């Protein structure tokens, strides 16, 4: 048997649409072992079959390596909410690929994991930090493998993660984002991406606040989150330096370098938005991990 742990991720980090992502201290855990028939537990019954994303990723990886797929027993234990912008699908994809490599006794590097997972997901902004840990800026040169720039994130930073009780589907979130932008907006974004990565590395919350002013996607996606304006107001009034929509949403992450402020922020959120769950997270530095039992 093998056990795999994959961290949740926050993609975009406000200013880095489809390029930036960060692993956070919320995890999905999976166990795999060879079996006579496919068995999946720990998820809704509707997904306990061959269409389960964990299993389809497992099969796709084996097939891509020229290995005949075989049945397994999969147990899922996840803290990552589905369709909330925290990379739940990426945890499944990464776990499936890692299990395929391990159970087929096929050596694989983290770089290859990123390449295979990116091919399955379509873009690396969630899967790269899930595999590598930390913050990652990713891009894929034409006809080449993804390139991932890894950034260590200051351990002073706390990410207050606000999870509304409703989903935002990625397809809807992509639909509202304009497909063309003015040159001035592109220039606006570029310097701020550099500011965001440096702010994460140094823990400079003033720099993070100055850099996190997106013009590509957040002005449009915020309309899909009914509580966005109230969450923003509560967070900033309670002392958060800045906040962003995590991935496609509906989750929103507020940033502070003060644990007391983070706790106070949670109290204010419970008072004003009791239906929203809140967590205080840090950056996960290890990325996906595997253990042989």
Bind-site residues for ATP: 81-91
Which pair of tokens denotes residue 156?
A: 């002073």
Contact 251, 84 (CB under 8 A): yes
Contact 206, 285 (CB under 8 A): no
Pairing of strands 72-78, 39-41: parallel
User: Sign of the CA dihedral 253, 281, 236, 20?
Assistant: negative
Binding site residues, as ranges? 81-91
Q: What's the DSSP call for residue 289?
A: E
CA distances from 75 to 116, 201, 246, 281 (A): 22, 36, 27, 25
Q: Give the total residue count for the chain.
A: 293
| 3-state SS track over 13-61 | CCCCCCCEEEEEEEEEEEEEEECCCCEEECCCHHHCCCCCHHHHHHHHH
Contact 98, 255 (CB under 8 A): no
User: Could you check whether the bond before residue 157 is cis, i.e. omega within 30 degrees of 0?
Assistant: no
């Amino acid at each position: 048997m093998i056990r795999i742990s994959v961290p949740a991720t926050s993609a975009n980090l406000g200013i880095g649409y489809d390029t930036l992502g960060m692993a956070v201290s919320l995890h999905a855990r999976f166990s795999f072992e060879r079996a006579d028939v496919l068995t999946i537990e720990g998820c809704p019954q509707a997904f306990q079959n061959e269409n389960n994303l964990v299993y389809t990723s497992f099969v796709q990886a084996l097939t891509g390596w020229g290995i005949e797929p075989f049945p397994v027993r999969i147990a899922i234990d996840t803290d990552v909410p589905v369709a909330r912008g925290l990379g739940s699908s990426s945890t499944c994809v990464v776990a499936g690929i890692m299990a395929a490599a391990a159970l087929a006794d096929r050596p694989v590097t983290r770089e290859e994991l990123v390449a295979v997972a990116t091919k399955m997901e379509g873009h690396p902004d969630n899967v790269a930090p899930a595999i590598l840990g930390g913050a990652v800026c990713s891009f894929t040169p034409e006809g080449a493998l993804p390139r991932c720039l890894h950034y260590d994130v200051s351990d002073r930073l706390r990410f207050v993660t606000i999870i509304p009780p409703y989903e935002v589907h990625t397809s809807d979130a992509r639909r509202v984002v304009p497909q063309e932008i003015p040159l001035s907006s592109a220039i606006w974004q570029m310097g701020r991406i550099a500011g965001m990565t440096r702010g994460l590395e140094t823990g400079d919350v003033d720099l993070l606040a100055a850099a996190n002013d997106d013009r590509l996607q957040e002005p449009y996606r915020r309309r899909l989150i009914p509580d966005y304006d109230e969450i923003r107001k509560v967070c900033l009034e309670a002392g958060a330096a800045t906040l962003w929509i995590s991935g496609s949403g509906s989750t929103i992450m507020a940033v502070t370098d003060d644990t007391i402020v983070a706790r106070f922020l949670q109290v204010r959120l419970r008072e004003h938005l009791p239906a929203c769950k809140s967590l205080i997270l840090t950056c996960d530095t290890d990325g996906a991990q595997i253990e042989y039992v």
